Amino acid sequence: MIKRKITKQLDIGGVKLGGDAPIVVQSMCNTDTRDVDSTLKQISEMAEHGCEVVRLAVLNKDAAAAIKEIVKKSPIPIISDIHFDYRLAISCIENGVHALRINPGNIGKQEKIEKVVKLAKANNTPIRIGINSGSVEKEYLNENCSLSEKMLKSAQKNIKILEDLNFDLIAISMKGSDVLNTIEANQLLSNTCDYPLHLGVTEAGTLKNGLVKSSVALGVLLYQGIGDTIRISLTENPVEEVDAAYSILNALNIRRRGVNFVSCPTCGRTQIDLIGLAKKVESKFKTLDLPITIATMGCAVNGPGEARNADFGIAGGINEGYIFKKGEIVARVPESELLDKLEEVIANSYK
Amino acid sequence: MIKRKITKQLDIGGVKLGGDAPIVVQSMCNTDTRDVDSTLKQISEMAEHGCEVVRLAVLNKDAAAAIKEIVKKSPIPIISDIHFDYRLAISCIENGVHALRINPGNIGKQEKIEKVVKLAKANNTPIRIGINSGSVEKEYLNENCSLSEKMLKSAQKNIKILEDLNFDLIAISMKGSDVLNTIEANQLLSNTCDYPLHLGVTEAGTLKNGLVKSSVALGVLLYQGIGDTIRISLTENPVEEVDAAYSILNALNIRRRGVNFVSCPTCGRTQIDLIGLAKKVESKFKTLDLPITIATMGCAVNGPGEARNADFGIAGGINEGYIFKKGEIVARVPESELLDKLEEVIANSYK
């Protein structure tokens, strides 16, 4: 149903980005990059949740030096995020970083740009150009066009700097804190270039609002076939960003990680603690590595039928409940035994 | 940017639905409808969060009888949700309910259908036909077409029953627990009829997953101009459904309720407890009834500039922070005084 736009493919430390590769899930550490142990610990947690590439802020020489050990020990490829200072970029490439996020337009003199790009080329180190709504190039700020067009011009200026140096290992992001701006900017960009696009809403906010804004913006774009890698920005623990990314990809049937949970809203028909039960079901089976759908339904009358597309499910009754499989009730047990019985039924089905 | 499809307009107890009316936010109580006090209490909470129409499950005669008092005392219009039993529908109309959710195809004999429709017509009581992916009409279940097409056929069968009785106060919903199914079904329906559409993903799940699924599905549809009223189904307290509905409409700049909060993700540059601070800002200003954007940013270097589109903001430093207004720093205070200072700056701006 979704026809994806085919972009040029990059290789980020062995992870394919763009072309026909799966849409890559990435996130960013919020540790101090100089603190190698804490950073590696957070990377491992994120990787366990399915993060495939991770970005680290490199603010100074010590952070650039720390990249060396982090790259060696990290289970997933590393991208250094650098602003302005070309020496940090060079140091990160020398230390084996798998990609850079840096805007060549912000590096300064042409000779500095050339040094970075030459070294990146020699090491096959891709560069992501990152244009945010709040950091449009100054020369376009007062032009008589939309913010999205100003962002596009800023991206094109940075692309041209790299292309003029015969460098094409390019990925691009255009992130707005406004959803419609983010959608429009990426549509414009996707129509005008074939480099892989990194999608995200910047400053999306705390968990609930951030999930909604990111899901709406990325949902619209991914549904239109736009986007090769996604990063969900949340003012939260970064593992939430990784979970959210899979949740969006799963919603659009683009990628699947673990169990798909469905549960009905509670209503006047519900006679068990459905909210509590649905949370327990998620908590018990969230690490189960099977591509199945588990439903938690409030009533035995409508539940199994309504959820006949689910592989397994629980339907609540009064002090008891039913286990169903593909719409058919297979067990009836007291409420306290529902979770264990469901686990048993699932286990028996995959013996 | 979004061009909305113009549908026929209905009146649900004074709330306009469809046509050029604002997209209506609705939800459903999870109380026992027979418990009038609890139901009215929950309706009031939902109304305070902006819920404009509320649906109640009517499972039996006592629930239908309770509708009378609920309608009298509710601050917002009431929709009765009825399955199968035409007597409950008649009783609810007689008790002044503002709309019904009932599928005429499930009522039974033609004379029962006619009784309900005749009374609905006499009272100008709109009827929502609700087709869920799990409750496709049996006659279409084994047809050789997609689930979305089966849902469309089920909706059309129910529409025809009403139209054949010269009844056109119709709204329709097509909800799947699958996001792509929900999107496709509503696109098909919107292309083939002009009745107002009620959007939702059914069994969307618990809070985080439910927010993502609902935001992706409704985001794509609303962006295409489809949808006249939305209900976010969450296995959660229904006030969360109302907040989520506004959050989605706000993301697409369709409707605005209260403050728009933005905050950057934490990163290696952050030197304050940004997650805690962003949550405190949301909590302090969430009931502020001004259409402004407040940003909470991790650093004073990038924060005010990145968030120059925000009306007000906080940028963190080391043990202190900055208050900014339209990108300009207007105050520098210790971390503990940031919230009060921000409140003061906002208040002074609206004197």
pLDDT at B14 over 90: yes
Chain B residues in contact with A216 (beta carbon < 8 A): 215-216, 218-219, 223, 248, 251-252
Query: Which residues of chain A from 263 to 282 reach within 8 Å of chain B, CB to CB?
Result: 263-270, 274-275, 278-279, 282
B310 to chain A, closest Cα gap in Å: 10
- Same domain (yes/no): A26, A142: yes
More confident residue, A260 or B71: B71
Q: What is the reported pLDDT for A7? A: 98
Q: What is the reported pLDDT for A274? A: 85
Q: What is the reported pLDDT for B272? A: 79
Residue B101 forms contact with A (CB below 8 Å): no
Residue B2 included in any domain: no
Specify the pTM: 0.92
Chain A residues in contact with B261 (beta carbon < 8 A): 205-206, 209
- Same domain (yes/no): B207, B272: no
Residue A109 included in any domain: yes
The per-residue pLDDT for range A5-50, each reduced to its tens digit, is 999 999 999 999 999 999 999 999 999 999 999 999 999 999 999 9
Cβ B92 vs Cβ B114: under 8 Å: no
pLDDT-derived band at A73 (thresholds 50, 70, 90) equals very high
The per-residue pLDDT for range B52-82, each reduced to its tens digit, is 999 999 999 999 999 999 999 999 999 999 9
- Same domain (yes/no): A330, A235: no
Which residue among A223, A262, A263 places its CB closest to the CB of B220?
A223
How crowded is residue B118: how many other Cβ atoms within 10 Å of its Cβ? 14
Q: What is the reported pLDDT for A265? A: 75
Domain boundary among A222, A251, A280: A251
Instruction: Give the DSSP per-residue string, B114-167.
Output: HHHHHHHHHTT--EEEEEEGGG--HHHHTSSS-HHHHHHHHHHHHHHHHHHTT-
pLDDT at A301 over 80: no
Chain B residues in contact with A302 (beta carbon < 8 A): 134-135
Q: What is the reported pLDDT for B309? A: 81
Residue A5 included in any domain: no
pLDDT-derived band at B271 (thresholds 50, 70, 90) equals confident
Residue A103 included in any domain: yes
- pLDDT > 70 fraction of chain A, expressed in percent and rounded: 99
Q: What is the reported pLDDT for A35? A: 97
pLDDT at B235 over 80: yes
- pLDDT > 90 fraction of chain B, expressed in percent and rounded: 77
Q: What is the reported pLDDT for B319? A: 82
Q: What is the reported pLDDT for B311? A: 93
Q: What is the reported pLDDT for A316? A: 85
Handedness of CA B280, B286, B289, B295 (dihedral sign): positive
pLDDT at B222 over 90: yes
Mean pLDDT of A121-127: 98
Chain B residues in contact with A301 (beta carbon < 8 A): none
- Same domain (yes/no): B284, B303: yes
Query: Which residues of chain B from 55 to 84 reach within 8 Å of chain A, CB to CB?
Result: 56-59, 63, 81
Q: What is the reported pLDDT for A134? A: 81
Chain B residues in contact with A252 (beta carbon < 8 A): 179-180, 216
pLDDT at B191 over 80: yes
The CATH number covering residue B144 comes to 3.20.20.20
Q: Which of B181, B188, B198 is nearest to B156 (CA)?
A: B188
Chain B residues in contact with A208 (beta carbon < 8 A): 207, 211, 243-244, 247
Cβ B267 vs Cβ B295: under 8 Å: no
- Same domain (yes/no): B95, B149: yes
Report the SS3 class of residue B69.
helix
pLDDT at A268 over 80: no
Cβ B92 vs Cβ B62: under 8 Å: no
Which residue among B220, B270, B278 places its CB closest to the CB of A219?
B220
More confident residue, B301 or A160: A160
Residue B17 forms contact with A (CB below 8 Å): no
The Cα B239–Cα B66 span in angstroms is 22
Q: What is the reported pLDDT for B103? A: 95
Cβ of A30 within 8 Å of Cβ of B270? The answer is yes
Which residue among B30, B56, B206 places its CB closest to the CB of A279?
B206
Q: Which of A34, A253, A262 should be substituted to probe chain B, the one whose Cβ sees the most B Cβ atoms within 10 Å?
A: A262
Mean pLDDT of B83-87: 94
More confident residue, B89 or B327: B89
Which residue among A28, A216, A278 places its CB closest to the CB of B251?
A216
Q: Which residues pair with A171 in a beta bridge?
A: A128
The CATH number covering residue A306 comes to 3.30.413.10
pLDDT-derived band at A124 (thresholds 50, 70, 90) equals very high
pLDDT-derived band at A217 (thresholds 50, 70, 90) equals very high
- Same domain (yes/no): B192, B281: no
Which residue among A134, A220, A266 places its CB closest to the CB of B30?
A266
pLDDT at A289 over 90: no
What residues make up the domain containing A337?
260-349
Chain A residues in contact with B203 (beta carbon < 8 A): 262-265, 295, 297, 306-307
Average pLDDT, chain B: 93
Q: What is the reported pLDDT for B54? A: 98
Residues of chain A by 3-state class (helix, strand, coil), percent to 5: 45, 20, 40
Domain boundary among B219, B251, B283: B251
- Same domain (yes/no): B125, B241: yes
Residue A169 included in any domain: yes
Instruction: Give the DSSP per-residue string, A216-279.
Output: HHHHHHHHTT--SEE----SS-HHHHHHHHHHHHHHTTS---SPEEEEPPP-TT--S-HHHHHH
Residue B1 included in any domain: no
Cβ of B208 within 8 Å of Cβ of A211? The answer is yes
Cβ B150 vs Cβ B136: under 8 Å: yes
Residue A135 included in any domain: yes
Residue B4 included in any domain: no
**Within 13 A of A141's CA, how many CA atoms are on the CB side?**
10
pLDDT-derived band at B207 (thresholds 50, 70, 90) equals very high
Q: What is the reported pLDDT for B300? A: 76
pLDDT-derived band at A246 (thresholds 50, 70, 90) equals very high
Q: What is the reported pLDDT for B276? A: 87
Which residue among B32, B248, B265 places its CB closest to the CB of A235?
B265
The Cα B173–Cα B118 span in angstroms is 22
Q: What are B21's two structure tokens?
A: 């009316």
Residue B207 forms contact with A (CB below 8 Å): yes
pLDDT at A270 over 80: no
* B172 Cβ neighbours under 8 A, 6+ residues apart: B128, B129, B130, B131, B155, B159, B189, B193, B195, B196, B197, B198
- What is the number of CB-based contacts under 8 A between chain A and chain B? 240
Mean pLDDT of B238-259: 93
Mean pLDDT of A124-153: 93
Residue B294 forms contact with A (CB below 8 Å): no
- Same domain (yes/no): B137, B175: yes
Phi, psi (deg, nearest 5) at residue A254: -90, -45
- Same domain (yes/no): B115, B231: yes
- Same domain (yes/no): A272, A234: no
Q: What are B230's two structure tokens?
A: 């939305």
Q: How many domains does chain A have?
A: 2
pLDDT at A1 over 80: no
- Same domain (yes/no): B280, B320: yes
With CA atoms as reference, the chain A residue closest to B245 would be: A212
- Same domain (yes/no): A219, A265: no
pLDDT-derived band at B351 (thresholds 50, 70, 90) equals confident
pLDDT at B290 over 90: no
Q: How far is CA A22 from CA A196, A218, A266, B212, in A?
A: 12, 15, 36, 20
Q: What are A79's two structure tokens?
A: 């991208």
Cβ of B216 within 8 Å of Cβ of A243? The answer is no
Of A72-81, B21-30, B139-148, which range is least confident? Answer: B139-148
The Cα A162–Cα A178 span in angstroms is 28
Q: What is the reported pLDDT for A8? A: 98
Domain boundary among B251, B274, B289: B251
pLDDT at B265 over 90: no
Of A194-203, A239-248, B130-139, which range is least confident? Answer: B130-139
* B59 Cβ neighbours under 8 A, 6+ residues apart: A268, A269, B33
pLDDT at B331 over 80: yes
